[in-house]
Amino acid sequence: MNKKKPSVLEVAKEAGVSPATVSRVFNNNLKVNSEMKERVLAASKKIGYKRNFYAKALIEGKTNFVGLILTRFEIRHYTGIVSAAESVIDDAGYIFVVTSSKYSKQKEQEKITLFSDLNFAGIVIITVGLSDEEIVDISKKSAPLIIFDRKVKGYEDKCIYFDYCGYQKSITELLINKGHQDILHLCGPTRLQVYKEKFNGYIRAMKENHLSARINYIVSDRATNEAGYNIMKKALKNRKFTAVVCQNDQLAFGAMSAIKEHGLTIPGDISITGFNDVPEAEFTSPSLTTVNFDYAAVGNFIGRKILSEIKKEKFTDSVPFFKIIERKSVKTL
């Protein structure tokens, strides 16, 4: 049994043509007689020929890999996005692969460099470690690079970002319009742009409505269920708020648990809102009023954006809008 994979030479011999012709056939090169094409295809099939990806990559200096570098695989609301992006990119004939940086600046850098050295056709990254300047700098020598969920100065047109400030402001205003004045804000780590923006949105909503926001926010280092629970536990010791605006659904879930444990009802005693609309948000008790992030639309957008970048086509679509989903966790005072 001969283990060695057949190459163009074997196919050429089998089909009675030159290796160049075989190559042309597989490149959809038009300059090839249809009869010969048939012969080549038949011969390839017969001996089980497959193009060698690496020989091609070596000579062409490019590949059809598209890489996504996440922060962490565990981020609940990213998973649906990744899935949708994969569909678009797969369908376009590219090989889509995902990795993560685990919030390490060094790993972000290493993986961009790695994928670039591997001549990836395109890279999408969710980066929190690299500075704006570093990103601009790296992008100059890297494969086509798209930044997700962040606006980088001097690189805006390659960034996909959302008006988190505006959305967080809107949902805060929803609470204000329903009569709430003392509104607590549960923040994620504000060194990350996403959380910082949301924080700004909350502050603006409060200020514009002449409400005191100064001491009514708590910044946690991680935006998890657990953090929400722990923070709320403390906050309840000296409660002077009727509503809580959380920067994501997980914080809200944790906070809801603490509130109930404290013997308070939602939304009877305390109203609460989330952000992202993860699948669980509809099935908590009460169901959570939150900001819906259309995963499929966003993932699709990412896919089309990186593909247009690869093909150097214009891409002027504007980012999908989010919408507030009103459920049962907010009471009118």
- Tally Cβ neighbours within 10 Å of residue 97: 14
Q: Whose Cβ is closer to DNA: residue 7's or residue 224's?
A: 7
* Cα distances (angstroms) measured from residue 294 to each of 101, 120, 122, 272, 280: 24, 28, 24, 21, 15
Q: Which does 8 bind (CB under 5 to 8 A by kind): its own copies, DNA, none?
A: DNA
Return the DSSP state at 25.
Answer: H
Q: Per rule CB under 7 A, is residue 102 in the interface with DNA?
A: no
User: At which residue do the structure tokens 């910044």 appear?
Assistant: 219
Return the DSSP state at 144.
Answer: S
Q: Residue 148 Cβ, how far from its own copies at the closest point, in Å?
A: 15
Residues 124 and 223: their CA atoms lie apart, in Å, by 23
Are residues 146 and 159 in contact, defined by beta-carbon separation less than 8 angstroms? yes
Q: Per rule CB under 8 A, is residue 102 in the interface with its own copies?
A: yes
Which one of 92-100, 129-137, 206-214, 304-312 is the stretch in contact with its own copies (CB under 8 A)? Answer: 92-100
Q: Per rule CB under 8 A, is residue 118 in the interface with its own copies?
A: yes
Q: Per rule CB under 7 A, is residue 47 in the interface with DNA?
A: no
Q: Residue 8 Cβ, how far from DNA at the closest point, in Å?
A: 3
- Tally Cβ neighbours within 10 Å of residue 21: 22
Are residues 257 and 299 in contact, defined by beta-carbon separation less than 8 angstroms? no
Q: Per rule CB under 7 A, is residue 178 in the interface with DNA?
A: no
Q: CA nearest 183: which of 252, 264, 243? A: 243
Q: Which of residues 218-257 bind its own copies (CB under 8 A)?
A: 224-226, 228-229, 250, 253-254, 256-257
Task: Pick the binder of DNA from 1, 2, 3, 35 (CB under 7 A).
Answer: 35
Return the DSSP state at 287.
Answer: P
Radius of gyration of the chain (CA): 26
- Window 274-313: contact mask with its own copies (x via CB under 8 A): -----xx-xxxx-x--------------------------
Residues in contact with its own copies by the rule CB under 8 A: 50, 52-55, 57-58, 67, 72-74, 76, 79-80, 82-83, 86-87, 95-100, 102, 114, 117-119, 224-226, 228-229, 250, 253-254, 256-257, 260, 279-280, 282-285, 287
